[in-house]
Each structure stands twice: as structure tokens, then as C-alpha cells.
């Protein structure tokens, strides 16, 4: 299916080089971008829509929009930031229609060698964090998710959400303060 050169290319070419190749007519190279970013886009879909089928549909819609608009990518930001902007806007529009955004804080990591006590404790903490995060204003939740769970910088979050960087910093700071106060009993009780 793929030759050695195509397998090596993702290690050599950065996203912007691949975009340039696609725009210049090598349309088959879009697959490389999809492979590089499909987990992140799918993960964003899960955080917004909460089921695998809707997340897969969301990812397909995002990559279709990305492909159709690839010639508009100007390279002023990283490709992943541009892609996340498309994904975020697609998700927000979908949620607006469905009104069911949930935070990534709901995800329960699976760790090898967990004891039943650790699993139960982590479940209690997760539930407390989930409840606290759900109580945050929507803009705070969005910024917290993108900052902590998607590892986006303040500048990237600004590009993605259209919010000013200082507003994002303020939202993340206030969200952390609100979460700290809400989870005070867990922190003081040694459950961190």
C-alpha cells in the first residue's frame, strides 16, 4: 500500500510542507495529516459529543472541512492550531444545536496494576472534579480543557476560540481558583 518513501516522509516533512505539497496537487498526502492529527480531533469530538459514533462523524466532518479549506491555510500559526480552530468551531456549532458539552475532565484513565482501592479513590476524586468542572462557566471550561487536556498555549487557545490572550489567562486562573475552593475538602483530606 505505501512505499518506503511515504512511510519515512512523516518523520521528515512538517505539517506546513505537507500542506504545500497537497495544495500543489499531491492530494494523496492529506492522509499523512489525517494520521498525525486524527487522535486529537477524535478526542475533541469525544469530549464534546460523548460517544464514539458522533466523535467519528465529527472527526470526518472536521477533516473534510480542513481539506476543502487547505488552500486558505496561510502558515501564520502552526497547522495543528489552524486545524483545532476548525475542530473547535465545528464542535461548538454542533453543541449549540445539541446543548450537551461535557469536559474532558470526565475521562477516567486506565492504569495497569491498579488496586480496587485506588480505582475507587480515583473514581471519587474524578466525580468531585467532574462536578466542580461542570459548575464552571462554559468559557472557563473550554479554556481549561484546551489548556490542560489538549496542551494548547494561551496564544493557540486565543486563535482557536477567538478570545483575547489576557481573557484566556484570566479564565484559566479563575477556573483554577474556583476548582481549588470547590475541591478544598479533598485537598485538605489528603485526597489529591
Residue ranges and CATH numbers for the domains of the chain are 1-101 (1.10.1740.10), 104-192 (1.10.10.10)
pLDDT of 109 strictly over 80: no
CB atoms within 10 A of CB 110: 7
The H or E element spanning position 152 is none
pLDDT of 8 strictly over 90: no
- Candidates 116, 120, 115, 136; CA nearest to 183 is 136
pLDDT of 42 strictly over 60: yes
Q: Return mean pLDDT, the chain.
A: 78
Quickly list DSSP for 83-146: HHHHHHHHHHHHHHHH-----GGG-----TT--HHHHHHHHHHHHHHHHHHHTS-HHHHHHHII
- Tell me how far apart the alpha carbons of residues 108 and 130 are, in angstroms, rounded to a whole number: 10
Task: Convert the pLDDT of each residue in 47-74 to its tens digit.
Answer: 777 788 888 999 999 999 999 999 898 8
Summarize the confidence of residues 162-175 as an average pLDDT: 91
pLDDT of residue 113: 63
pLDDT of 171 strictly over 60: yes
Higher pLDDT, 25 or 13: 25
pLDDT of residue 7: 44
Amino acid at each position: 500500500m505505501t512505499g518506503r518513501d511515504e512511510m519515512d516522509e512523516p518523520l521528515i516533512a512538517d505539517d506546513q510542507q505537507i500542506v504545500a505539497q497537497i495544495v500543489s496537487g499531491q492530494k494523496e498526502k492529506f492522509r499523512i495529516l489525517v494520521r498525525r492529527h486524527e487522535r486529537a480531533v477524535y478526542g475533541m469530538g469525544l469530549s464534546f459529543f460523548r460517544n464514539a459514533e458522533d466523535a467519528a462523524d465529527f472527526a470526518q466532518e472536521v477533516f473534510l472541512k480542513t481539506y476543502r479549506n487547505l488552500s486558505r491555510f496561510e502558515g501564520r500559526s502552526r497547522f495543528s492550531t489552524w486545524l483545532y480552530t476548525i475542530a473547535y468551531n465545528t464542535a461548538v456549532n454542533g453543541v449549540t444545536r445539541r446543548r450537551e458539552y461535557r469536559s474532558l475532565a470526565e475521562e477516567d484513565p486506565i492504569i495497569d496494576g491498579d488496586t480496587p482501592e485506588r480505582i475507587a479513590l480515583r473514581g471519587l476524586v474524578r466525580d468531585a472534579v467532574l462536578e466542580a468542572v461542570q459548575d464552571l462557566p462554559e468559557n472557563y471550561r473550554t479554556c481549561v480543557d484546551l489548556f490542560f487536556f489538549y496542551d494548547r498555549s494561551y496564544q493557540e487557545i486565543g486563535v482557536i476560540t477567538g478570545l483575547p490572550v489576557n481573557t484566556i489567562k484570566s479564565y484559566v486562573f479563575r477556573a483554577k481558583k474556583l476548582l481549588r475552593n470547590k475541591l478544598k475538602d479533598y485537598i485538605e483530606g489528603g485526597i489529591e
